[in-house]
Structure 1
């Protein structure tokens, strides 16, 4: 990729230098070399152009590059070297702009496997050793430390493991896996260190399968042609017809060359990449990274939207939604004591409770005599009072009097309940849930107003959770309990309704993002896999940035098309004038330069709003 980019840059430098040097040659007393200099510096661009045309024709693609090649060859044949090098410079400039836009947009992307560990800690002969991932075999016993990503599929060999599987399943609340339970690769250890007995090699594990799905989806997605190339056949046929008619009826090949020169699709070649680069720059200013011209063009035409739930439609983090307490107890006081004790725990739910207390500006104190039962709860002393925080069954087992538990199982789908006991008596409960993002209702209305006709929720979470979170939302269909490959099938099935945009943030979303016409990743907290697979990355954690992304894409595409049609129209007028003998090849090249400037200035409007 780098080599190709450098070649495009060199192809701009060569004709630019050759054009200037050709004008300087007469000043050096070598006027006879002027035309030769221009011809010599045109040839490298022509060679690369012909090579690109042959490659495209082998793929069955016909582009406007053929017109540029014909005009350069014809100009050199009839001795119009100045016209040839001007055409070469403008063509190379347009190609460089297009390559620059693509390279610049992708340079900030992280690698697909950035999240996956390259090594693992293995038990061997009573010692621990760090080994490369590809050396891990079924039956090996691994140590998974707190915060580690599980590198391969396996079976929990310790008493308990607390795993954050949100990147794989979309479930935001960590799950407890007991001895003998299966643990999926790609999960994060949210509790204490545990042992894992390997059941599959890395390449055969869950995350390895997701990587293969991404690669397959990217290979199967049909590439879009460049916008200007869609008009190639009509414009090419018109150019050849007018040039041939001029030569046939007048017998003057120079007129045919003049037609080809002024027909050189520089306005079309330039208008599109300039408008696209301008749109990319404007989107970046809104915290939206769009990966090149094909992505922004597809974004402008989307008709259906597939949304992930966790981290996309919802915040992706469990939040405290209620603090219920027993009679005569103060909710803030109960929360303060629970959070003070939870400061000693690294459990993700404990950290959430501490953060909630801090957000309410409650004064926390340092606990003492803390005893934590991994995955169950924590006990300790806060301000001289015995406090217990954890799962309902765990806390009930610590009460001094049986039967005083007033905590009821949560009826809210996807919610978790944390019980609190103070001095041996049930004091209250804290309910946590992953909530809908604020402004989601208005976002969906705005998307409908932009022409999105169908909106589908596709999640790996349970159906009751998905239906509860989408109640009252303007969503056409809810698909729940999906695996990564099933999400891909949802995206593909929606294509019958038009171009599809998929929005997600987890590793499990990556294959669907790659398969969609436009994949949009929530990049602020999302997985590296989803950011790499996506065509668009929202760099800030705001789902409503999808709206300006679509608006910018549509405006950029409109301006690009405006340049294409204006350029074609002016070129046709120029071709007719050249065919009638009113323009020489050099005059045609100069007029073409004026047209180029006009379309570039027009394309730069994509940098600003309406």
Structure 2
């Protein structure tokens, strides 16, 4: 069998100083302006050169940095976009005309530095979403008879037999034809548990394979598979979302004309053009140009350390005006891990007895619920005895012998009519369910749920009083009973269950059209809705 070729991401730019300067023009201008100002001060006060010589670095700064900045400001004015940087551009122009090159260079340093920090913050905010988009593999392992070949993802056709290696991302939607194991579909479906895959089971593109290799038959082209559709919706949401006006630009709408009017009045009153420049320089909104990008960058870094993704820096400025909050369920308000919440016993069996027998078998299983059973046994101080003849036939559950008795962990669909009559199970149930049989007799039913985070209820409760949120919604792809259960646990009244990523996007777009909306979610299945929210 050939060793798989791992895809490598293309690099758009070669490494090096020149490529950095090309990619980060504003950062290069800021560095050049800083160096020129320091050189000017050295030539003027240390070497005491004549004015025509110590002014040269500043003139170069205005030529190399000021002209590009003024050109961009001019294009913004033609588009009738009047932002906070317009006053800075006017100050640069006037300082050059009046020969005050140091003032102009300092403003160039502030303006280019602030824009560089803001662009860097934007890149940091969107980098995680780009990483999620790049999770899709670029190749697939096609199986033909006994041979295995690596082919581009675009070459996959319906009906191809593909091998998905352990821990790889499934390239297309398909059906398992060989092997058994588990796949993590939490980013696609919102389900917090790894899903068991056996022959005949359906798999989704973008799901992460577990410990075992699986052979699948593709049922859709890569471009029509689940993961590709989510990415397409995300790109459409990005293109259609409204352009946010930054706080600085909204303030500049009133501040800039006022500052220019005061400067002009000062010039007319005193008859000195330097007074006009002095007012412009003093009125240039340095806190808005520099402090806001620095604050946003710090906020994004703080959020990243707490596993929070900020879609765009402008969202941090608008979040205080949001009055509707929409929360995803799995992994956002919950831990994304199953927990044993209820154990129903049949007559003649005790809780420690059944839990010990189940934990004895689960030690040898990779099933998503195994860790929940073992954790429950450990919490109750139960030491599982040794098990023998442990097996896990596809679709049959977990079998073994514990202390001379046959134990079986399975689902209700595998029970015989006699066992179903013994169990007397309700027709419907909440959460996940596991049946325990001892010597082929019904012994107990385990119920599992995804636990809400300890801080979820207090966090939801403080949104209204502290931040004036009027509506809070819980949205999930899970069953309505599961979503309602969590909503009651964390104090949310409005829910939307069984929601696909497309339906989440439609809901968020509708709420955003009514007013500014905050969306909090995790994973690729929430990316389209995150892109559409305020």
TM-score range, shorter chain: 0.7 to 0.9
Q: How many residues align?
A: 513
- 1:402 CA drift (Å): 6.3
SS of residue matched to 2:131: coil
SS of residue matched to 2:330: helix
Q: Assess if the C-alpha contact under 8 Å between 1:186 and 1:207 holds in 2.
A: yes
Q: 2:50 aligns with which of 20, 23, 31?
A: 31
Instruction: Give unmatched runs, 5+ long, in structure 1.
Output: 518-610
1:428 aligned onto 2:474: no
Instruction: Give unmatched runs, 5+ long, in structure 2.
Output: 1-12, 14-19
Q: Assess if the C-alpha contact under 8 Å between 1:459 and 1:482 holds in 2.
A: yes
Structure 1 distance, partners of 2:305, 2:144, is 52
TM-score, with structure 1 as normaliser: 0.75
1:343-392 per-residue CA deviation (whole Å, 9 max, x = no partner) reads: 22222233432343344443234432223221321222223332222123
Partner in structure 2 of residue 505 of structure 1: 522
TM-score, with structure 2 as normaliser: 0.84
SS of residue matched to 1:321: strand
- 1:447 CA drift (Å): 1.2
Q: 2:37 aligns with which of 16, 19, 42?
A: 19
Partner in structure 2 of residue 492 of structure 1: 509
1:368 aligned onto 2:367: no
Change (3 A) 1:59 1:179: farther
Q: 1:64 aligns with which of 64, 77, 84?
A: 84
Partner in structure 1 of residue 220 of structure 2: 200
1:266-292 per-residue CA deviation (whole Å, 9 max, x = no partner) reads: 243233234434444555565645466
Q: 2:496 aligns with which of 476, 479, 484?
A: 479
SS of residue matched to 1:311: coil
1:405 aligned onto 2:422: yes
Alignment of 1:228-267 (within 5 A): 228-248=248-268, 251-267=271-287
Structure 1 distance, partners of 2:159, 2:104, is 69
Change (3 A) 1:284 1:318: closer
SS of residue matched to 2:159: coil
Q: 1:391 aligns with which of 411, 419, 432?
A: 411
Q: Assess if the C-alpha contact under 8 Å between 2:140 and 2:152 holds in 1.
A: yes
- 1:35 CA drift (Å): 3.0
Q: Assess if the C-alpha contact under 8 Å between 2:340 and 2:373 holds in 1.
A: yes
- 1:216 CA drift (Å): 1.5
Structure 2 distance, partners of 1:472, 1:355, is 22
Change (3 A) 1:173 1:72: closer
SS of residue matched to 1:315: strand
- 1:244 CA drift (Å): 3.5
1:209 aligned onto 2:229: yes
- 1:202 CA drift (Å): 0.8
1:229-253 per-residue CA deviation (whole Å, 9 max, x = no partner) reads: 2122333322333344444455543
Structure 2 distance, partners of 1:290, 1:174, is 27
Structure 2 distance, partners of 1:210, 1:282, is 28
Structure 1 distance, partners of 2:39, 2:169, is 60
Structure 1 distance, partners of 2:159, 2:367, is 29
Q: CA RMSD in A?
A: 3.3
Partner in structure 2 of residue 125 of structure 1: 145
1:116 aligned onto 2:143: no
Change (3 A) 1:73 1:210: same
Partner in structure 2 of residue 140 of structure 1: 160
1:170-229 per-residue CA deviation (whole Å, 9 max, x = no partner) reads: 234566778666543234556965543212211121110101111111222223233222
Structure 2 distance, partners of 1:13, 1:147, is 44
Partner in structure 1 of residue 372 of structure 2: 352
Q: Assess if the C-alpha contact under 8 Å between 1:94 and 1:266 holds in 2.
A: no
Q: Assess if the C-alpha contact under 8 Å between 2:398 and 2:409 holds in 1.
A: yes
- 1:110 CA drift (Å): 6.7
